[in-house]
Amino acid sequence: MAAAVGGFGGSKKLVEIFYDVVSPYSWLGFEVLCRYRQHWSIELRFRPAFLGGIMKETGNQPPAMVPKRGEYMMKDIKRMAKYYHVPMQIPKDFFGSVIRKGSLSAMRFITAVDMTQPQFLEPVSRELWMRIWFRAAEEAGLPSALAQKLLAMTSTPEVKNRLKETTEEALKYGAFGMPAVVAHVNGEAHLFFGSDRLELLGNVIGEKWLGPVPAASKPRM
């Protein structure tokens, strides 16, 4: 597990976000934490992991698999997207295009980006959330030839093992879903689940919550 960067009153605190692009709530947490890098004394570390593996190991299941919870989630996502200023559009066939299809290939692609071209990790992850997979690489500024090379890497043992290791690390912290945000304070790891615990995260690391779009911080989408 990652070492702490600092504690209260010290240097920057390390905040890790374990995420999967199949998770809309991961996108919300991802964007808001990106905005808060300008306002909180944190080192934000992106940790692409596989939600399907976490669900399997913990016996959890997607909210959409529970009818009433799925109905609520569809309404909740729209409200949260508006509140957080994230242009989230729910796919018409959410179950077929998102839940059944899964995200293993996408997360292996992101892992390959993280391993070889980490400067593109943030924009590629963002574009994938916007449901434009191959265009995601181009829109993020990744050269086409390099994108093809990274796509080819997704079937290699190195990429598969890295994604598995990151997923296992999230499980060790106690993750059971995503986003799983881990703050390191005074040598202790604090796990927060979901995109609606960021105000509490701020309190634990000694920072002030300034709303979903803090002043002078503009959404990038």
As annotated, the active-site residues are 23
Place of tokens 């999230």: 170
Cα Rg of the chain, angstroms: 17
Q: What are the tokens at 115?
A: 């391993």
What single DSSP character describes residue 118? G
CB 41 within 8 A of CB 15: no
Any idea what the Cα angle at residue 52 is, between residues 192 and 191, rounded to 5°?
10
**Cα distance between residue 35 and residue 21, in whole Å:** 18
- Dihedral angle of Cα 19, 25, 28, 33, to the nearest 10 degrees: -50
